[in-house]
Structures are given as C-alpha cells and as structure tokens.
Amino acid sequence: MFSSAVSLDRMRTRLLLSNLFAALIVCGSLIHPKALVAEQIPVRHVEGVTHGFLVLRTLDGSAIADGDLKQVVKGARVTSNLTFRFKDGSFYEETTVFSQRRRFHLLSDRVVQKGPSFKQQTDTSIDAVTKQITVRTTENGKEKVTTRHLDLPPDVANGLILTLVKNIEPNVPQTTVSMVAASSKARLIKLNISPQGEETFSVGVINYTAHHFVVKVEIPGVAGVVAPVVGKQPPDIHIWVIKSEAPVFVQFEGPLYQEGPVWRLELTKPDYSKH
C-alpha cells in the first residue's frame, strides 16, 4: 500500500509540474508574442512638391478645423508639414522628414497639439537617427519633459501613413509597419494595413474609383491582450486613395492623436466668396 501511495504522489507531482509548465508557456506567449514581420515600403511613386488644402470633420460631417499640407523636396529628402487650426482655437502641427531612396525611411517626426480639442497639451519629437523620443507635456502651466531611447526599426512609419498607402499594391493581403506610440512611456506598436476593395465617388460629373485600406493597430505584449478588455484598443483607421500613375489621397477616418476621437480628414478647395 505504501508503494501505491508513493506512485500516486509521483503522478500528482508530474501532473502539477506539467500544468505549471503549460501555464508558463501560455504566459510567455502573451508577454513575448510572435512578432509580425514589418517591412519598409518600396518607393513606387516619388514624392514631390505639394501644397494641398484640407478640412477636418466629425463623422456627422461638421467641420471643426481647416488645414493644409505643404511638402518640399531636396534631393531624396522630403519635408512634410501638416497643420490644422480649429474653430475652438486649438492647434495641431506635424512636421515629418523622410528619405525616399528606393525605400521610404523616416528621419524625424514632430507633433505639436494644444487647445481644448486635445486631452493633453503635448510637443512630441521622434529622432529616428539618434533613436531618441522626447515628449513635452504641459499641465497647470508646468512643463514636464520625458526623454527615452528606443531601438527603432527601419520601417517606423510616424507621419508617413498616407504616403505609404499610396505605394502599397492593392493586391497585397497585408502590409505591416512599425509606429512609435509616443507618450511618457513611449513604445513600439504595429500597424497592419489591408486592402478592402474599391469604392466609387464623384467630383462633379466625373466618377472615380478609390481603393479603401484599413489600418489595424496591434499592441504587443500583455498590454495588447488587456487593451480590448478595458476599452483601450485603438479604433481602426480607414484610408481611401486613387491608384494610378499619379496616386492621390482622397479621405482619412481615424484618431488624429492617441486615445482621440475618430475624425474625418478630406481635401477641400479655397473659398473666394469671403473676399
């Protein structure tokens, strides 16, 4: 009987160790998930000098900000400046510098947002060369500066999403790039870009076909598992572009900043009636 009891205890111990080992494997897979292979997007359409007029709307169509996009090119170096001035006095500006030698490569990105339309007043800078992220926040008149070094991959895409989508072939099922979610605890996330088919729209009497892309945010590690449960999963981003020898952005729907509301960004035209 003593021998049987020892054998039973050994079986229980082995089962306990087996279950514990399995639990550790599951936990490890959550903390260190298999990373999707991100990629630099090849330059299929070289960016040039641009000055476009934009309007920012809520999803019900109400215009909340007017803006423009200015882009200048010196050799293979492109500087893009996107600004919005809100009706409530808020201000948003993103300045992105990137190279376009065979593949798009971010050099720097700076985002300034201030005013009541934003939950927090911030000035965020990403230096992709030195791999330094600097975040300045202002609360109650006091400025706080946080600096962090991140091992940025070559495919980091802050400020480049609209440019990259113009260069993604619509027959590629999914393209994955990296992005810095800049905050006091800056981290790398993944953006999974997938084509959703074609949609027709018109400008006056002329009909056009736009390709619809959806960008899904993937947060790595335990935070990514918890985010949907606690309501922190970022919403999908929708982008429409005309694919041709001269591709052009048509419309964007998504948050302009981290944890922000979903807004619609569209092209617009000058209004001469006010002059």
Strand partners, 175: 193
Q: Percent of the chain at pLDDT above 70?
A: 80
pTM of the full structure: 0.82
> Which of the four pLDDT bands, split at 50, 70 and 90, describes residue 227?
low
Cα–Cα–Cα angle for 232, 38, 113, nearest 5°? 45
**Looking at the predicted structure, is the pLDDT value of residue 1 above 60?**
no
Lowest average pLDDT, out of 10-24, 80-94, 116-130, goes to: 10-24
What pLDDT digit, counting tens, does each position of 235-269 carry? Answer: 999 999 999 888 999 999 999 988 899 999 999 98
Give the pLDDT band of residue 28 (cuts 50, 70, 90): very low
pLDDT recorded at residue 20: 33
CB 216 within 8 A of CB 194: yes
The confidence band for 18, taking pLDDT boundaries of 50, 70 and 90, is very low
Contact of 152 with 131, CB cutoff 8 Å: yes
The amino acid sitting at 65 is A
Give the position of tokens 């993944």: 190
Assess whether pLDDT exceeds 50 at residue 98.
Answer: yes
Query: What pLDDT score does 82 carry?
Result: 97
Q: How many C-beta atoms surround the C-beta of residue 93 within 10 A? A: 16
Mean pLDDT within 206-215:
95
